[in-house]
Structure 1
Amino acid sequence: MKKVLILAACTGLLLTTSCVSKKKYAELEDKQEKTQDLLNTATVKLNDCLSEKSALTAQNSSLKSQVKSLEETSASLIKQIGDFTDLTKKGAENLEKSLESLKEKDLTIRKLQDAITRRDSVNLALVQSLKGAVGSMDDDDIEISVEKGVVYVNISDKLLFNSGSYQITSRAKEVLGKVAKVVNNKPDFEFLVEGHTDTVPISTNCVKDNWDLSVLRATAVVRTLQNEFGVEPARMTAGGRSEYVPISSNDNAEGRARNRRTRIVVLPKLDQFYTMIEEGLKDPAIN
């Protein structure tokens, strides 16, 4: 009986010991699982941190590279600004010089235009004077015009000469007297007296051809203006143009009559100056 009780006690003790160990084991196992979870979580976070560190390291390297590039760019821009400032100063100086040059050219153009205007005014006044002086003559026989700043007086052949002759007629002296009156009042003007013929050939003992006739008629007009009306000879030039500068057709009598003429070209002594003005206006530097 005693043995039975001892055996029962040992069995109970063993059962009690076995139950406690399983409970602790379960607790330990639970702690282990939690610890493992914590470890897994820590491992994940560690890996995330390592990845983030790697990314930040790469970003830091990139930012350093960008900072270096920006520093180089900044230095370059500073240099360019300095260069641009120098260029701007030079540009401002050049612009100022250009403006001064333009002002000078503008003043030159205005002076030239004023001179041309004065020339045109003088020519117009001369034309009006001539027209007033010869107003009683037939308009078809005397033509007064201005071309390119020059006054032209065309006097029909029939008013000055007989056919084929270079002797001045009495009526011609009336016409030339009126012309002389106007030009004597304009001492600054010079004259070119031109003889013109038609295409009908001429050949006599005194006249070889139309060249000869045109020159002889021009010298006859110049001689008359000098000897009978006191026009200073140094102001006059005589020239013959023969048949080669027609103003009408030589195919009919009316046209040939218009081509037979004496032309007085009135030239101011300032004609070279006016030519210089016109050429100056064509200068690309002025335009």
Structure 2
Amino acid sequence: MKLQLTIPALFIAAVMVSSCVSSKKYKDLQASYDKLDSNTREMRGKYLLTERNFAVANGRITSLEEQLNSERANAKQLQDALSKCLNSSSQGNVNISKLVDEINASNKYIQQLVNAKNKSDSLNMVLTNNLTRSLSQQEMKDVDVKVLKGVVYISLADNMLYKSGSYEVNDQAGQTLSKIAKIIKDYSNYDVLIEGNTDNVPISQKNIRNNWDLSALRASSVVQVLQNNYQVDPKRLTAGGRGEYNPIADNSTPSGKAQNRRTQIIITPKLDQFMDLINKAPEKDAQK
């Protein structure tokens, strides 16, 4: 009789222990997911801020070029006016001295703008050449380096950086990232945006809701490798994901999907360097 009572009791105890363990695992998984979700939201916020800053930078560069063209046209008008003054005695009342001063000031400002643009273009070209020379032929198959509108884009294929569907950087990518990190550290006056991109195939993994999450997590992984393994200043780094919404090829083909699965390292001059020049435009009060 005692044996019959003991067996059900043991069974009930085993069920209760099993239930407690499952509940604890569930709570741990839920806490990990909540933390991951919070980190992803924070990264998205930082990325949106960087996107806005990047758009502002492009606008300011365009403004710089427009001012350059405007000043050139103004200098030509002043030169024409001076020539008319010198060739016509009827305009003897024009203050030639002030006109010459305006021409000289305008030409000086034009030269400042030209020098700034040439310096930026030259630095970007040197940066690109240094990087491509440091990469092996095998690495160059998975790395694409371009300069567009004064910004350096380094595009890395996902199969070089991660396992399929994963956001953890693999060991084989370390050598390539170490070379890129050295270039980034050599050009300390540049900011760096790490941008994750995916194809349009939905992701199906625990704790990764969609391609937005995957792209942001991949960018964050590269940022942390650059910071922790290669000592790049984290204040210069921003991580962001664009999911499947920034394709560079057609997702209807395997080749197009492969091109769209990429992580871009975007290196751009700091905005205050351009603002300093724009704010130093020559004063136009000389004729007053």
User: What is the CA-CA distance between 1:275 and the residue it aligns to?
Assistant: 6.7
2:273 is matched with: 273
2:158 matches 1:157: yes
1:61 is matched with: none
Moved more, 157-166 or 133-142: 133-142
CA distance in 2, matches of 1:261, 1:182: 20
Q: 1:123 to 1:163 in 2, by over 3 A?
A: same
Larger Rg: 1
Contact (CA 8 Å) 1:134, 1:179: kept in 2 or not?
A: no
Q: 1:120 to 1:278 in 2, by over 3 A?
A: farther
2:208 is matched with: 207
1:92 to 85, 91, 94: 94
Q: Does 1 or 2 have the higher relative contact order (CA < 8 Å, sep 6+)?
A: 2
Amino acid at match of 1:197: T
Contact (CA 8 Å) 1:201, 1:210: kept in 2 or not?
A: yes
Question: TM (normalized to structure 2)?
Answer: 0.62
2:65 is matched with: none
2:241 is matched with: 240
Identity within the alignment, %: 37
User: What is the CA-CA distance between 1:96 and the residue it aligns to?
Assistant: 4.2
1:177 is matched with: 178
* Aligned residues between the structures: 193
Q: Secondary structure at the match of 1:92?
A: coil
Segments of structure 2 that go 5 or more residues without pairing to the other structure are 1-88, 282-288
Amino acid at match of 1:92: V
1:229 is matched with: 230
User: What is the CA-CA distance between 1:99 and the residue it aligns to?
Assistant: 3.7
Q: 1:280 to 1:164 in 2, by over 3 A?
A: farther
Q: Provide the aligned C-alpha RMSD in A.
A: 2.4
User: What is the CA-CA distance between 1:98 and the residue it aligns to?
Assistant: 3.8
Deviations 1:239-285 (A, max 9, x none): 1111111111111000110110000001233x44337768999xxxx
Question: TM (normalized to structure 1)?
Answer: 0.62
Segments of structure 1 that go 5 or more residues without pairing to the other structure are 1-84, 282-287
User: What is the CA-CA distance between 1:129 and the residue it aligns to?
Assistant: 1.1
Structure 1 segment 5-84 matched on structure 2, within 5 A: none
CA distance in 2, matches of 1:272, 1:253: 42
